[in-house]
Copies of this chain bind each other. A is one copy, B any other.
Amino acid sequence: MTTTVDGVRSLKYWQGVNQALHQEMDRDERVVLVGEDVGGPGGPYGVTRNLRATFGPNRVRDTPISESTIAGLGIGAAAVGLRPVVELMFFDFCMLAMDQIVNQAAKYRYFTGRSLPLTIRTMSGSGGSYGAQHCQSFEAWFAAVPGLTVVMPSNARDAKGLLKSAIRSDDPTLVIETFGLLTARRDTPVDEDFLVPLGVAETRRSGDDVTVVATGRMVDRSLEAAERAAAGGVSVEVIDPRTIAPLDRTAIVESVSRTGRLVVVQEASAPFSLAAEVCALAAEECFDRLRAAPVRLCADFVNVPTPQDLIEARVPGVDDILAAVTRVTGR
């Protein structure tokens, strides 16, 4: 892998995460990394490799399987002056740490008036064949909590830039990485000052006829569907919110007001999800501009299965997105 002239490299998603951690730990000795197998083994999926070798066992710690206390390690350490990054391997395991994340970390500033520079990394999505207790997508839970910032990088560039911003942020930030994308590539600035700002959506493709808001694995699929739609004369705008709390409402409202049509694509199920929030937002804010009913294109409201073909049967594919786009534009 070589750096191109302009300091941009094609990185895999996990490399984006890894580079962000190396750069931020190098830049600020208050940054520490804590989690199951993150140290010696470099993470169960290799995401944190070489960090312990580089920064030593004082700053990179393998924990026991104690999710609640792992989150608490981050809170307490942040309260006494560190900027910890804690890893809760899978989103599903965050369920063992909800009190610490929601009742404690999210309220620290409210109770104390102080900052709590805590980053929590986890992974979600049904990209691996890990079944119903490892692949759930309930990012909306955390986005409903005042005091938490929640980001969902959908590619290597954002995985790097958002994580770096999270680490530099003075408030608790949850970084929900996408398991199914760990080896997916995107051109990424190597620069250690490259950041992706929190709270700002990215328009991945501009278009006039319909706005597609997509997250995680669904972003690339939406881009592919948009490409195919273009061939059929339909101009699709694809927006990746990147940060889901606080959501970049302005960007979404601006786009939907312009296109008059909305499709939200995600691998969470529809009920009580980000897709519900985005559709509600469009209905409230773009009521007079909407030319068709907004569409939620989501995973079926069922548990995540293990075989790959069942997983795919459950979530939207490129064809489904194309069909929805076509339907909503009436072409």
Contact = CB atoms under 8 A, between A and B. Distances in A.
Given A144-B138, A295-B284, A274 B272 contact: yes
A143 B271 contact: yes
Contact of A280 (B93, B147, B283, B288): B283
Contacts of A268: 144
B107 A99 contact: no
A120 to B, nearest CB: 15
Contacts of A301: 146
Given A271-B245, A283-B294, A284-B295, A303 B133 contact: no
A269 B132 contact: no
A184 to B, nearest CB: 26
Given A107-B133, A107-B303, A144 B273 contact: yes
Nearest to A279: B280
Nearest to A141: B141
Interface in A28-60: none
B98 A272 contact: no
A144 B280 contact: no
B277 A284 contact: no
Contacts of A107: 132-133, 303
Interface string A63-103: 00000100000000000000000000000110110110011
A280 B296 contact: yes
Interface residues of A, number: 51
Interface in A265-302: 268-269, 271-277, 279-280, 282-285, 287-288, 290, 292-296, 301-302
A243 to B, nearest CB: 13
A167 interface: no
A107 B305 CA distance: 11
A295 B281 CA distance: 10
Nearest first, the 6 A-B pairs at minimum CB distance are A287-B293, A279-B280, A283-B283, A95-B98, A144-B272, A276-B280
A239 to B, nearest CB: 17
A247 interface: yes
Interface of A: 68, 92-93, 95-96, 98-99, 102-103, 107, 110-111, 132-133, 136, 138, 140-141, 143-147, 245, 247, 268-269, 271-277, 279-280, 282-285, 287-288, 290, 292-296, 301-303
Contacts of A303: 107, 110, 146-147
Contacts of A293: 283-285, 287-288
A53 B143 CA distance: 44
A107 B95 CA distance: 14
A329 B217 CA distance: 41
A261 to B, nearest CB: 11
Nearest to A138: B144
26 contacts: A68-B96, A93-B99, A95-B103, A96-B98, A102-B136, A103-B133, A107-B303, A110-B303, A111-B132, A140-B140, A141-B144, A144-B271, A144-B272, A146-B303, A147-B303, A245-B271, A272-B274, A276-B276, A276-B277, A279-B280, A280-B283, A280-B296, A282-B283, A283-B283, A284-B295, A287-B292
